[in-house]
Amino acid sequence: MATAVTASATAATRFTRLSGVGLLRRGGRCRLPTAVRFQRPGLTTTALLRPTELKPKDLGQPETLDYRVFLVDGAGRKVSPWHDVPLRAGDGVFHFIVEIPKESSAKMEVATDEAFTPIKQDTKKGNLRYYPYNINWNYGLLPQTWEDPTAANADVEGALGDNDPVDVVEIGERRANIGDVLRVKPLAALAMIDEGELDWKIVAISMDDPKASLVNDVDDVEKHFPGTLTAIRDWFRDYKIPDGKPANRFGLGNKPTSKEYALKVIQETNESWEKLVKRNIPAGELSLA
């Protein structure tokens, strides 16, 4: 396999405050409190959000236009999987929201234009969307990230962001459920270009996976999950072809990046999200509630 793309500089180590709680630095490492304070519009008090206590709550029947999966906290209050779940879990680990479980084909996604950004099935011309074949990995998003559609990426052909949170492809053995919040560590990234828009795919593994301790960078993926990076790239390259659309492309020489570069992508898109929620960038139809 070709050598992975590496970051031109050390990934940024500046950690921003998350929902009013700062990260604590001790002994050169950052740790995140197990609970994060946040306040939702309409709440009279500041709530205490514990990512480990978040649960998905289904409303409606699966595979219908009205079906939604909300995240709720321990008190049953709705929270946004995009805006309220903290990105970082400490010690280089990140939170990951599952939208599409492995070995399924319904195209589920966070509804970025609805209050509390629940997960719904994507539609086209009023019809529910499905992939032409099952996706072979757990797929979803990194919370508190955003690919800015006004920012051109000089490393990737000047492509603009796709106006969505950053996608994650989780390669562990367990099939997760829609709305699960998993702790993952990034291993690599693929710079997919979809109809001219940059659509990063962060390759990661759940910290609960039996092989999690064995894989720490892109080369470890090839060693312990041989062929997986190529399979991910080929799957996302080709999945639109059965619908008569052209294949997607990949920047950065068609190669996966190093973990260092993936962390750089995460940092930059987290900073873009911060600008969005602070309204330094027009939100358009995106829900910030």
Cβ contact 89:82 at 8 Å: no
User: Where residue 218 sits, what CATH number does that domain have?
Assistant: 3.90.80.10
Of 131, 139, 239, 261, the active-site residue reads 131
Domain ranges, residue 103: 50-277
Residue 289 lies in a domain: no
Residue 190 lies in a domain: yes
pLDDT at 222 over 60: yes
pLDDT at 43 over 70: no
Residue 77 lies in a domain: yes
Per-residue pLDDT tens over the stretch 120-131: 999 999 999 999
Residue 17 lies in a domain: no
Residue 23 lies in a domain: no
Per-residue pLDDT tens over the stretch 57-73: 999 999 999 999 999 99
Torsion angle, alpha carbons of 204, 209, 213, 214, to 10: -80
Cβ contact 119:204 at 8 Å: no
Residue 95 lies in a domain: yes
Per-residue pLDDT tens over the stretch 142-197: 999 999 999 999 999 999 999 999 999 999 999 999 999 999 999 999 999 999 99
Cβ contact 166:142 at 8 Å: yes
Question: Which neighbouring-strand residues pair with 105?
Answer: none
Where residue 50 falls among pLDDT bands split at 50, 70, 90?
confident
Residue 29 lies in a domain: no
Annotated catalytic residue 67:
no
Residue 4 lies in a domain: no
Structurally, the chain folds into a number of domains equal to 1
For residues 47 and 52, give the distance between their C-alpha atoms in angstroms, rounded to a whole number.
15
